[in-house]
Amino acid sequence: MNLEVLFKITQLLEEIFDVPASDITPETDLYEDLGADEFDMVEISMILEEEFEIFPDEEKLGKVSTVAELCEFVANS
């Protein structure tokens, strides 16, 4: 896993969900642990587009559930 991507995503999630970065690990579940919903995922998609200069496939992003999967999604986009 790309640590730079993990660091940026952790910062992003810390800001969106108002949780300490220390509580966010690769195993953190976006839905169960952070309480994400479909609107949060749209926000994440827009931020990923801006921060990483990628154009996320919304259908594939919808299948992402953990921080590790989100990092892999970014790395492969």
Scanning the structure block, which residue is given the tokens 């994400």? 36
For the chain, the C-alpha Rg in angstroms (whole number) is 11
pTM: 0.92
- Rounded CA separation 28/57 (Å): 22
pLDDT tens digits along 60-75 = 998 999 999 999 999 9
Considering the segment(s) 3-75 as one domain, its CATH architecture is Orthogonal Bundle (1.10)
Domain spans in the chain, listed from the N-terminal domain onward? 3-75
pLDDT tens digits along 19-49 = 999 999 999 999 999 999 999 999 999 999 9
Are 24 and 42 spatial neighbours (Cβ–Cβ below 8 Å)? no
Describe the crossing of helices 3-17 and 38-52 by its angle, rounded to 10 degrees: 140
